[in-house]
Amino acid sequence: MVLQINTPIPKDLPLDLPLPEWLLVSLLIISFLLHIVFINLMVGGSIITLWAQIKGLKHKEYDILAHEIAKTITVNKSIAVVMGVAPLLSINTLYTLYFYSANALTGFAWIMIIPLVTIAFLLTYLHKYTWHSLEKNKSLHIAIMGLAVAIFLFIPLIFLTNVNLMMFPEKWGTVKGFLNALLLPNVFPRYFEFLGACIAITGIFLVWYNGRKSYPVEEIYTNFTRNTIKRIGYSITTVGLSLQILFGIIVLFTLPSKGISYSVIAVMAGAGLLLANALWLCYKTITQNEIIIDKHFKKIALSILCFLCFYGGSRQMYRHNALEKHQELVAVHTAEFQKLSKQAREEAIVLQQQEAAAPKTDADLGKGVFNQYCAACHKPDVKLVGPPVIEMASIYKGDKANLQKWIKAPGKKRADSPQMPGFLQLSQSELDQLSEYILTIQ
């Protein structure tokens, strides 16, 4: 009931989905996960690059590390963008009403994503390609990445606000733009959880990236060994996972209850346990000696991977639960609308049929003749070139014969009017119908 009172409930577009719903939902979850992993690597990579480059002002090796990570950002970015098309289209198709409403309500900020993304992407290229030419001007070079990071940190807020707003139609009536929607419960906890994921996934990516046999660590670095870099990677992952768990718990407790169910809690708890497992293994790795640095790598990576699947699943489950009631109300509206529109269409057809079936009177036929031959100069009740029809009716009341005589051979009566042409071509029945029409006009 509360939902119904505070919520704008539009009717849905009565169009079928282009694919079965389960297929679209699977596509949404899978393509979103692929997209978000590369987004994590892009955002996390930028943050870590900035951090390593600043640290590199004192320790040259970190500067090299920053350069190596910077080279991956633009690649991960491109993959993220390409992978973003499918989830965007899927969510748009599955949740048209909700997604569109949230877009419209965050309007300006939502559109801002396009220029912001463009600028941030160009900055990452600029940063990458000016690595050597700005060697002497490190602060400017770092500032370029700083700006890119700032933009990268802002954009997810817009996305999160949007996908959050779409789940709460009851707020649509009162929300006033992006800044207002930003304060919806759990936008910020989810945001910081996302940043934690960016850092964690970039950390584990670094371990893998530097562990590849084909990657010539010895040629690139002077002091850092493969293990040193891996250790840095694991440490970064540890920081990221800790953030994720901390904010994940806050998310769980700040999620509005309407989408929560036992299964959502179970899946979220499972996701949390996977993260805790990964964190524990990372922690063990960095606190033990280097010979077994890769001992837990696969388990950590697998835990994070499984976490992502749980995470994607729980998001979809929550969204489904949160919107279910509203979708039912919309379905009622849509059904009502379809019923009314069907009725209206049927009534129109019946009316048409009745009109077609009704026998035409002489007056009806006469009106047709009048429109064809006389309407250019005569109107029913005002003077045009000739006098109005009501005037004819009063002159020739009960005198069909003379009216017909006039029509065939008009005289010249009115001083202020020209001569009316005669209509000898009309048949007797047309004349009868015409005069019937004229004389019945009141």
Enumerate binding residues for ligand HEC (CB under 6 A): 373-374, 376-378, 385-387, 392, 395, 403, 406-407, 412-414, 417-418, 420-421, 423, 434
Q: Which amino acid is at 153?
A: L
Q: How far is the CB of 372 from ligand HEC (least distance, A)?
A: 8
Tell me the C-alpha distance between 345 and 330, whole Å. 22
Mention every residue, 6+ apart, whose C-beta is less than 8 A from residue 322: 167, 168, 256, 258, 259
Residue 412 Ramachandran class (φ > 0 left, ψ -120 to 50 alpha, else beta): beta
Nearer to ligand HEC, 162 or 435 (CB): 435
Nearer to ligand HEC, 314 or 404 (CB): 404
Nearer to ligand HEC, 231 or 383 (CB): 383
Nearer to ligand HEC, 99 or 437 (CB): 437
CB 110 within 8 A of CB 103: yes
Tell me the C-alpha distance between 207 and 228, whole Å. 10
Q: How far is the CB of 416 from ligand HEC (least distance, A)?
A: 9
Nearer to ligand HEC, 324 or 381 (CB): 381
Q: How far is the CB of 107 from ligand HEC (least distance, A)?
A: 59
Q: Give the pair of three-digit tokens for residue 370.
A: 């009048």
C-alpha dist (Å) from residue 51 to 24, 59, 149, 205: 39, 12, 11, 16
- CB-side neighbour CA atoms (13 Å) of 94: 23
Q: How far is the CB of 100 from ligand HEC (least distance, A)?
A: 56
Tally of residues, the chain: 442
Q: How far is the CB of 362 from ligand HEC (least distance, A)?
A: 14
User: Other CB atoms closer than 10 Å to residue 262's CB: what's the count?
Assistant: 7
Q: Which amino acid is at 344?
A: A
Nearer to ligand HEC, 258 or 400 (CB): 400
Nearer to ligand HEC, 250 or 363 (CB): 363
Q: How far is the CB of 386 from ligand HEC (least distance, A)?
A: 3
Q: Which of 90, 74, 76, 75 is nearest to 32 (CA)?
A: 90
Q: How far is the CB of 406 from ligand HEC (least distance, A)?
A: 5
